[in-house]
Structure 1
């Protein structure tokens, strides 16, 4: 699928604008429009949603989202070199694509979007985890977004969906599964990208739950799991000893053995421990 909208193939776009991927920006471009359209479809019915896309680069996923019927796409791109190719897409979809040259970490996209909102992005590897944690931990829930459809390194995707007892189970799994239902919906090999990264990639779709699975303060829960998994080889009585002098008693009070390690503790237990520490 080299042409889906009358625009040139992405390889021609990159060549015409000299848009060579920069490692410093975590860029690896996905040029196959078959794949970008498939990723867009993983986000569900887009016709009645505004879409936030982070790091569109030359616009392959942007074009997929628009072709798949997104009501509006807000494309936020830090790299000013991508403004020219994105402007060419905007000329074809003047009422449905807005492009902002900004760092996604510094931007409040709500000023530009109307709910329902879905976030769909081939996230730059260097900011993907930080953005995900921000989206998962707003103070109020449900969030402004209905779903996330995000590409990560495959290893990160596996950590997001990992279960207790697994070596990959950690902070991202707890925060993701506490408030959403995440699932891996696609995997992509290195050769799908230009330049090819050294790792495989995967797309994870998150559906926001109406309410968290268990009651907990998001900031306190995040701080707790960060400390617990920061020293995951240690028993919890050791890794959490800085939180309370009576940490062993607090652990026991919520049914957690002080000799347990973080990877053995389920989300419900972490939430109960968070509440106990807060009280």
Structure 2
């Protein structure tokens, strides 16, 4: 006979299992090759867990439509690895709860053993192109953030005209994106990388997308100070999104990654702003 406390826990686990069954089923349709089969088997396990729990609770529960939508969309935007790793973190929290109640509810021991096996299966199982070129994306993003944030900060004080700042920033950014892509191509080709062209494209694309995102405020605002503030917020947003993606997919510490990129990018921006003040006063230039 289950106590109310244990039954409520089992119902919560039951909802998690049926939700994960539907999520993994959807993700298996997006996967290819061996990954497809591994994810499908995990989905089958989640369904078996649900049925096992149902045998004890005798209560049907519905999956979380929000979580199904959330993880499916994340997989489409950021890739299977990101979505699965993020869901895996949720499973780690579930495992901790399973450990506390496994002696009170016999089916939990079976679930716990399967969850540990899932964790092993998921580690390193996904082969995704976007992860293979993560280094190229990092190079493009980092360089664009550091270089252009600093340049826009300096140009803002020197020119004090949003259209001129946007024009100068676009010219600088587009030229730099081609330069970075070419450098990445030559660098990877010299290392014997057969996909040097693709690495260069990832670097250049990451750079130019970041450039456009940072310059956008200067194209829509008339006050250069507000535009610069918005640009700095955009830079922080890019840092936050990318470092979170890296932390999840590479099992790294988000706070450490974010702090490093934030300090470097904002430090260069502040330094460039100071340099622009000094140079403008030295040359006595008025725009």
Q: Tell me the TM-score normalized by structure 2.
A: 0.24
Q: Which has the higher helix share?
A: 2
Q: Tell me the TM-score normalized by structure 1.
A: 0.24
Q: Which has the higher strand share?
A: 1
Higher relative contact order (CA 8 A, sep 6+): 2
